[in-house]
């Protein structure tokens, strides 16, 4: 039995929607709890599948967890384990984020290699290189990263690959370095807001980090980190999802509890295309925008256009007169879902790492399949604007990263329901 969304397109989205806490922030903040024996209390944690996978993993590693109404309390028990098994890493590749904290805290760990995902290879060589530079001995054995150290020592680490800095790689090395001896410099560090959130929480726990939010981080190791109470930042990708939904079909849609600064670049792009967007301190008001100009854009590391917003721009391009194009600068193969959009009448050609999108008069409802989280949510947006009924299958991908998506959309006026098939 699997679940699908059934959507009848054409309804306006009006009213207010509250953005949840950031999935990708919460996941790394939860992993950071491994660095301390004291309690970590997190507020604004979204209740979604990946968070539950992370809870399962932390429980396996010896944490006791209470999760009530978006507040998550993590406590240390005596049943410590340092192995992140395949069945959990396989469910959520972000589980690799326990590598740095386990190694720093317990001097050894075994973490399953994550493998690829629906939008292509997802290597972890930068994570491994970072740990090696900090003095860890690493063997790749039967699908596992087997790591140990007699004590991590600070180092200078250049942490970028062919596609730029690594978000979770930076977070892994940053966490490991907080308990290493001496000073670590991470050059070409990722600057994503979720990494900044992690650095801010680590500082509150007693870590010494300079250059937060820049591409060079200097971390001076300390002997021990303390417990902390901390609030997760709003989810910028969920914000972007509702923002584009509003441009497609909103009527004074108010997106609340968000941080528009984290979307400064895409908001500027959308405004330049003619989108009706009004920015407040922690909210955005957006309405359906007619006669938008076609766009040519590429995804890049923060502060530029996030790869996780790429599928939503593609859906937008589908209904803008003229030819738009979006290039993938992070995951060149992240276009699988465009064949599903084609089933809804979209005119998209993939040329290398670029989707060339010719606007069509309208999309038409069809049965389509989510191939990953963001692609799945983009198909939901396509369904909201399409003529007739759309069924999005395999919505477990969407449940991994969106808290109550169909409830939030229904409250705004969308005709969407979850059905069992």
- Report, as residue numbers or ranges, the catalytic residues: 117
CB atoms within 10 A of CB 375: 26
**Shortest approach of ligand EPU to residue 274 CB, angstroms?**
27
CA-wise closest residue to 32 among 199, 233, 182: 199
Is the alpha carbon torsion for 328, 408, 191, 173 positive or negative?
Answer: negative
Sign of the CA dihedral running 296, 286, 246, 167: positive
How far apart CA 160 and CA 213 sit, in angstroms, is 16
Stretch that binds ligand EPU, among 162-170, 250-258, 342-350, 351-359 (CB under 6 A): 162-170
CA 290 from chain centre, in angstroms, equals 30
Per CB under 6 A, the list member of 61, 124, 179, 386 interacting with ligand EPU is 124
| Separation between Cα atoms, residue 290 and residue 417, nearest integer Å | 28
Of 103-111, 158-166, 261-269, 352-360, the segment contacting ligand EPU by CB under 6 A is: 158-166
Could you say which of 312, 401, 403, 406 contacts ligand EPU (CB under 6 A)?
Answer: 401
Copy the structure tokens of residue 302. Answer: 């923060």
Q: What are phi and psi for residue 256, nearest 5 degrees?
A: -105, 165
Which of 179, 330, 357, 386 forms a contact with ligand EPU (CB under 6 A)? 330
Binding segment toward ligand EPU, per CB under 6 A, in 124-132, 133-141, 222-230, 405-413: 124-132
Task: Find the shortest distance in angstroms from Cβ 122 to ligand EPU.
Answer: 5
Number of residues counted as binding ligand EPU (CB under 6 A): 25
135 near ligand EPU, judged by CB under 6 A: no
Query: What CA–CA distance (Å, rounded) separates 274 from 283?
Result: 19
Cα 106 to Cα 151: distance, rounded to the nearest angstrom: 9
Does residue 374 belong to the site contacting ligand EPU (CB under 6 A)? yes
Secondary structure (3-state) at 281: coil
Q: Is 27 in the site for ligand EPU (CB under 6 A)?
A: yes
CB nearer to ligand EPU: give 229 or 333: 333
In contact, 23 and 50? CB cutoff 8 Å? yes
Beta bridge partners of 67: 72
Q: Looking at 136-144, 163-171, 257-265, 410-418, which segment touches ligand EPU (CB under 6 A)?
A: 163-171
CB of 376 to ligand EPU, least distance (A): 10
Nearest to ligand EPU of 250, 401 (CB atom): 401
Q: List beta partners, residue 124.
A: none
- Does 318 bind ligand EPU (CB under 6 A)? Our answer is no
Q: How many residues does the chain have?
A: 421
Residue the block writes with tokens 């993939």: 350
Stretches 11-19, 159-167, 256-264, 286-294: which one binds ligand EPU (CB under 6 A)? 159-167
Give whichever of 126 and 255 is closer to ligand EPU, judged by the CB atom. 126
Q: Is residue 331 a contact residue for ligand EPU (CB under 6 A)?
A: yes
Rounded Cα gap, residues 345 and 232, in angstroms: 39
The closest of 393, 317, 384, 382 to 344, measured between CA atoms, is 382
Q: Both tokens of residue 417?
A: 């329901």
* Site membership for ligand EPU, residue 167 (CB under 6 A): yes
Interaction between residue 196 and ligand EPU (CB under 6 A):
no
Query: Would you put residue 32 in left (φ > 0), alpha (ψ -120 to 50) or beta?
Result: alpha
CB of 321 to ligand EPU, least distance (A): 30
Is there binding between residue 133 and ligand EPU (CB under 6 A)?
Answer: no
Decide: is 373 part of the binding site for ligand EPU (CB under 6 A). yes
- Out of 10, 62, 85, 123, the only residue in the binding site for ligand EPU (CB under 6 A) is 123
Q: Which two tokens mark 226?
A: 């303390």
Q: Is 122 in the site for ligand EPU (CB under 6 A)?
A: yes
Residue 308 CB, nearest approach to ligand EPU (Å)? 5
Q: Does 49 bind ligand EPU (CB under 6 A)?
A: no
Count of alpha carbons within 13 angstroms of residue 45, beta-carbon side: 29
Q: Is 307 in the site for ligand EPU (CB under 6 A)?
A: yes
Applying CB under 6 A, does 161 fall inside the site for ligand EPU?
A: yes
* Cβ(18)–Cβ(257) below 8 Å: yes
Cα 401 to its chain centre, rounded Å, is 8
Q: Which is nearer to ligand EPU, 317 or 329 (CB)?
A: 329
Q: Could you say which residues in the range 208-247 bind ligand EPU, by CB under 6 A? A: none
Q: What is the binding site for ligand EPU (CB under 6 A)?
A: 24, 27, 94, 122-127, 161, 163, 166-169, 190, 194, 306-308, 330-331, 373-374, 401
């Amino acid at each position: 039995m699997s679940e699908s969304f059934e959507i009848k397109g054409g309804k306006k989205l009006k009213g207010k929607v509250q953005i949840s806490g950031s999935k990708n922030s919460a996941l790394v903040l939860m992993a950071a709890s491994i660095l301390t024996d004291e309690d970590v209390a997190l507020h604004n944690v979204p209740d979604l599948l990946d968070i539950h996978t992370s809870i399962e993993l932390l429980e396996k590693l010896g944490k006791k967890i209470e999760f009530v109404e978006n507040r998550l309390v993590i406590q240390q028990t005596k049943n410590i384990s340092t192995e992140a098994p395949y069945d959990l890493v396989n469910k959520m590749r972000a589980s690799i984020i326990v590598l740095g904290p386990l190694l720093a805290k317990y001097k050894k760990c075994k973490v399953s290699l994550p493998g690829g995902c629906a939008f292509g290879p997802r290597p972890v060589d930068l994570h491994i290189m970072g740990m090696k530079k900090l003095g860890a001995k690493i063997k790749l054995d039967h699908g596992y990263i087997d790591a140990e150290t007699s004590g991590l020592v600070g180092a200078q680490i250049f942490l970028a690959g062919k596609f730029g800095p690594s978000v979770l790689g930076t977070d892994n090395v940053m966490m490991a370095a907080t308990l290493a001896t001496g000073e670590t410099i991470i050059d070409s560090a990722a600057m994503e807001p979720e990494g900044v959130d992690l650095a801010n929480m680590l500082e509150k726990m007693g870590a010494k980090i300079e250059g937060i939010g820049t591409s060079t981080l200097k971390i001076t190791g300390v002997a021990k980190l303390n417990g902390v109470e901390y609030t997760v930042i709003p989810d910028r990708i969920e914000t972007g999802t509702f923002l584009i939904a509003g441009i497609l079909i909103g009527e004074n849609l108010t997106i609340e509890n968000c941080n528009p600064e984290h979307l400064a670049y895409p908001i500027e792009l959308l405004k330049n295309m003619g989108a009706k967007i009004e920015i407040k301190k922690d909210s955005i008001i957006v309405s359906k925008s007619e006669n938008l100009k076609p766009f040519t854009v590429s995804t890049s590391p923060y502060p530029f256009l996030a790869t996780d917003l790429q599928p939503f721009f593609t859906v937008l391009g589908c209904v803008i007169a003229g030819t738009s194009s979006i290039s993938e600068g992070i995951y060149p193969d992240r276009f699988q879902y465009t064949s599903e959009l084609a089933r809804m009448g979209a005119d998209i050609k993939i040329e290398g790492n670029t989707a060339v999108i010719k606007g069509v008069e309208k999309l038409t409802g069809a049965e389509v399949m989510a191939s990953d989280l963001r692609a799945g949510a983009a198909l939901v947006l396509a369904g909201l604007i399409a003529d007739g009924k759309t069924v999005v299958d395999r919505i477990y991908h969407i449940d991994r990263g969106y808290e109550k998506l169909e409830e939030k959309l229904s409250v705004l006026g969308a005709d969407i329901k979850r059905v069992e098939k």
